[in-house]
């Protein structure tokens, strides 16, 4: 026993060093799984508050740009509303569901599934190997894990940690997530991001024979957490991979991640129901 105490006293520093390093490794390991730990992330109260104060100050410098993009978005939305007015939904669609129980008119399902919430970006990173964005909405405002986040111009990411008033969003600029995408002609593929080419998104799994022109738009696919037909980016160049007769398509992201200020968080109301159906059929 005495030897043991002497041993501990002699190597106290080394033991403390190793103990602290083990704590760090455990922390790293926990966050690299999808569950994550919400304590040490910028969704926690203290760092959330500091970032909020900072964003309150910086906010004023971007107001002019913000106005321009809001006006553009309004114009686009007005155009879409006009187009919808002229469609006879009763004739064109097969499935209908009432929006509210008191409402006697019917609507196409697709438009009633998603709820949009606005949020302001209070912290933003674009140069780590997994980039996170902190927003000023949390579980009190109805945000929960795995909701999709978009900006006025394109996709942004997926909610990963939520606290009462803040949430941190794993952005598309990350090696941890793939986004289902489709080209104009309906060909589907996945979007990934590589740290070595930080300025481009890469679309994979596209067959070689599909012809793509520079400047073509790419949209989100149907099987993703995002609502379909949200812009992802435009084609910069294509590279053919000889090995498996596929091609890589390099995209210019339509969202400018460097000056994000407002985002929309999308809640998919049918997500839980869909998940239950998928799980129950998987069990057999």
**Site for other proteins, rule CB under 8 A:** 12-13, 16-17, 20-21, 23-28, 30-31, 37, 40-42, 44, 46-47, 50-51, 54, 125-130, 132, 168, 195-199, 258
- The answer to whether 21 and 8 are in contact (CB under 8 A) is no
CA atoms within 13 A of residue 157's CA, in its CB half-sphere? 29
Least separation in angstroms between residue 42's CB and other proteins is 5
- Measured from the CB atom, the residue of 132 and 226 that comes closer to other proteins is 132
CA gap 192, 145 in Å, rounded: 21
- The answer to whether 260 and 126 are in contact (CB under 8 A) is no
- Measured from the CB atom, the residue of 7 and 12 that comes closer to other proteins is 12
Least separation in angstroms between residue 28's CB and other proteins is 4
Chain centre to alpha carbon of residue 24: 27
- Measured from the CB atom, the residue of 21 and 273 that comes closer to other proteins is 21
Let me know how long the chain is. 284
- Measured from the CB atom, the residue of 89 and 197 that comes closer to other proteins is 197
Least separation in angstroms between residue 112's CB and other proteins is 35
Least separation in angstroms between residue 48's CB and other proteins is 10
Residue 107 burial by CB count (10 A; 0-12/13-18/19+): exposed, middle or buried? middle
CA gap 33, 173 in Å, rounded: 18
Using only C-alpha atoms, the chain has a radius of gyration, in whole angstroms, of: 23
Residue 267 φ/ψ, nearest 5 degrees: -100, 125
Least separation in angstroms between residue 234's CB and other proteins is 17
Least separation in angstroms between residue 249's CB and other proteins is 18
- Measured from the CB atom, the residue of 40 and 277 that comes closer to other proteins is 40
User: What would the two tokens of residue 9 be?
Assistant: 């006293």
- Measured from the CB atom, the residue of 86 and 127 that comes closer to other proteins is 127
In the chain, which ranges are E strands?
Answer: 96-97, 107-108, 114-124, 130-135, 148-150, 155-162, 167-174, 179-182, 188-193, 201-207, 217-220, 231-241, 246-253, 262-268
Least separation in angstroms between residue 197's CB and other proteins is 6
Least separation in angstroms between residue 130's CB and other proteins is 8
Strand pairing report for 231-241 and 114-124: unpaired
- Measured from the CB atom, the residue of 32 and 89 that comes closer to other proteins is 32
CA gap 213, 245 in Å, rounded: 18
- Measured from the CB atom, the residue of 195 and 273 that comes closer to other proteins is 195
Q: With CA atoms as reference, report the closest residue to 221 among 191, 251, 181.
A: 181
């Amino acid at each position: 026993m005495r030897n043991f105490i002497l041993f501990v006293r002699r190597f106290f520093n080394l033991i403390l060093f190793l103990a602290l390093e083990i704590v760090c490794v455990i922390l790293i390991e926990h966050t690299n799984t999808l569950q994550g730990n919400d304590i040490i992330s910028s969704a926690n109260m203290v760092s959330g508050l500091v970032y909020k104060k900072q964003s309150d100050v910086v906010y004023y410098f971007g107001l002019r740009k913000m106005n321009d993009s809001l006006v553009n978005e309004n114009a686009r939305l007005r155009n879409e509303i006009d187009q919808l007015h002229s469609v006879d939904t009763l004739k064109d669609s097969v499935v209908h569901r009432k929006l509210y129980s008191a409402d006697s008119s019917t609507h196409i399902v697709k438009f009633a599934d998603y709820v949009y919430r606005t949020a302001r970006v209070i912290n933003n990173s674009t140069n780590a190997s997994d980039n996170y964005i902190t927003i000023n909405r949390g579980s009190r405002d109805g945000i929960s894990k795995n909701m999709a986040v978009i900006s006025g111009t394109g996709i942004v990411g997926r909610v990963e940690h939520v606290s009462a008033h803040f949430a941190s969003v794993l952005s598309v600029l990350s090696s941890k997530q793939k986004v289902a995408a489709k080209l104009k002609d309906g060909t589907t593929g996945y979007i990934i991001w590589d740290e070595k080419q930080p300025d481009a998104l890469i679309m994979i799994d596209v067959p070689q024979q599909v012809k793509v022109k520079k400047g073509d738009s790419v949209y989100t696919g149907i099987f993703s957490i995002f609502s379909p037909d949200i812009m992802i980016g435009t084609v910069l160049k294509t590279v053919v991979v000889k090995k498996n007769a596929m091609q890589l398509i390099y995209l210019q992201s339509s969202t400018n991640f460097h000056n994000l200020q407002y985002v929309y968080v999308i809640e998919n109301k049918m997500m839980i129901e869909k998940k239950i159906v998928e799980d129950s059929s998987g069990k057999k």
